[in-house]
Amino acid sequence: MDRRHYLIKDASLELLVRRKTKISDDGIRGKKFEIFCEIFLRKRNGAKESAEIHRELEVPFSSRKGWNIRKSNEEPATPIPSYPKRVLFRWSSEPAGRRRLSYPRARTMRGLWAAHWRSLGRKILHSSSSSSSSSTLSSNLKLLGPNLPDVWMMPSSSSSAFRSQSSANGQTANVINGKSIARAIREGVASEICRMKETIVKSPGLAIVLVGGRRDSQTFIRVKLKACEEVGITTYVEELSEESTEDEVLRVVSRLNNNPSVNGIIVQLPLPQHVDEERIINFVSPEKDVDGFHPLNMGNLAMKGREPLFIPCAPKSCIELLLRCGVEIMGKRAVVVGRSKIVGLPTSLLLQRHHATVSTVHSFTKNPEQITSEADIVIADVGIPNLICGSWLKPGAVVVDMGTNQVQDPGVDQGVRITGDVCFEEAIKVVSAITPVPGGVGPVTIAMLLSNTLDSAKRAFGFI
C-alpha cells in the first residue's frame, strides 16, 4: 500500500509537531503525512494497540478524554482538546478534471473551476516543499510580520531615508524619502534579473491589460513600463476599447494566464462600468496576480500563519517604508483612515501581522479626529485632499500618506498640483516622521510591483 495515496488530518499532532520541530506549515503537513502513514501500516501489519504504536513513534494518542503532553520534571501541559477519530483521505483514480476526495460527506466542488483550484493547491503544496519556493517567498515573509516562521529582523535605519525639516515652532520632523528607498529596492531587483539572465537565460515578464482610454490610467501604465524597462522586465500591453465586452476581457486574461512568458498580470483599474471588476480580478491566475488582489492571496493574508503568494503593492510599500526607517510597529496604536480593498483593508491586515493595535476610520466612524489623535502610526488613503490636519495627529506620531489627489492651482505650470490626504504644512509641525506627496509611497509601490514580478518569475522558473 503506497504511502503517497494517503493524506491524514489530526489537529493534536499538528500542535505537537509545532512544539517539537518548530517547522513551517508545509513541513508540518509533510511530517503529519509520514507519521500517520507509519501508524496506519503498523496497525495493519501488526495488530498492536493504538496507544502502543503512538508511544513507539513518540506522538500523542488522542482519546476522548484528551491527552497531556509533558516532559520529565515538568508540570503537565494544558490538555489538548479531543477531536474526532482520524479520517483517512484517498485520491480517487478518476481523471484530473473530475478528481475528488473520497471521504464521508465530502463537499465536492464541480466544474472547471474546481479542477483549477485543486490543481493549483497541489502545485502550491509541491512548490512549497522545494528550496526555490522558500527563497522567492522570503521577502514576503519579512513583510508579513513576526508571527510567521521567518521572523523579520528590524533593519538599521538608513540616514538617506530621512530628510529633516524644521517647522515654525522649531520642532524637527523627518520627511521619509521614498525615492531613495525605491531606488535601493529597484537596484536589488535589477541585480537579481541580471543574475537570472546569466544563469538560465530567462527574464521576468509582466502583462498589463488596459480597457478604455482614461488619461490617468495611461499615465500610470507609462510609469510602470519605464520602471520595468530600467530593471530588465519584459512587458506586454493589451489595449482594449472602451466598448469591449466582459467576455472579451476574460479571453485576453485567459490567454495571458496560459502564456509561460508572462509571470505577472495587471488589470489596470478602474474598468468601464459595464465590466465586472470582481469577475475579471478573480479570473487572473493567483500565481500571476502580482497586484495581490485575488481572493486566494487576500484570504491567505487575512489568516494568521498563512503565506500569500503576493502582497498588494501599496500596503507592502507602506510597511516597507516603516521597517526600513526603523519605525517600531509591535505594540503601537495604528489607525488606518480608509478601508478600500486595494489599500486600507490589506494595510490593516499587515499591521495586525506585526502585532500593532489597529483601528480603522471610515465614513461612518464617530469622532474620527479623537481616534486618530491617539495613534502612534497613521496611514491615510481616502482620496480627500488635506482631510487630516494637524489637530488630528498625536505629537510625535508617524504618518504615511498614501493619498494622491489633483488640486487646481493656478500658481503651477499645468494648473494642477498633486497633494495627499494629510495637510503636510500642518502635520510637519506635529509629527516625528511623514511621507511627502509626491515622492513618498508612490515610488516604493512601483518598486514593489517589480519585486512581486521577480518573485513570480523565480517561482515559475525554479530559480534560487
CA distance 91 to 316: 38
List the Cα angle 191/197/201 in 5-degree steps: 170
CA distance 254 to 285: 9
Which single residue is written with the C-alpha cell 489568516? Answer: 303
Is 202 labeled as catalytic in the residue annotation?
no
Which single residue is written with the C-alpha cell 478524554? Answer: 65
What sign has the CA pseudo-torsion 122, 125, 128, 129? negative
Distance of CA 121 to the CA centre of its chain: 17
Tell me which of 10, 268, 316, 458 is the catalytic residue.
Answer: 268
HSE toward the beta carbon, residue 10, CA cutoff 13 A? 26
CA distance 52 to 151: 38
CA distance 111 to 308: 25
C-alpha pair distances (Å), 140 with each of 187, 328, 359, 455: 18, 18, 23, 9
Q: What share of residues in the chain are helix, strand, coil (percent, to 5)?
A: 45, 15, 40
CA max distance for the chain: 89
DSSP-assigned beta bridge partners for residue 239: 210
DSSP-assigned beta bridge partners for residue 422: 388
Torsion of CA 317, 457, 299, 356, to 10 degrees: -30
CA distance 275 to 280: 8
Is 224 labeled as catalytic in the residue annotation?
yes
Tell me which of 26, 291, 381, 421 is the catalytic residue.
Answer: 291
Cβ atoms of 282 and 273 closer than 8 Å: no
Tell me which of 32, 142, 224, 458 is the catalytic residue.
Answer: 224
CA distance 137 to 150: 10
CA distance 211 to 268: 8
DSSP-assigned beta bridge partners for residue 370: none
**Closest CA relative to residue 81, chosen from 60, 51, 57:** 60
Cis, peptide link before residue 104, omega less than 30° from 0 = no
CB atoms within 10 A of CB 133: 21
DSSP-assigned beta bridge partners for residue 264: 206
Catalytic residues: 224, 268, 291
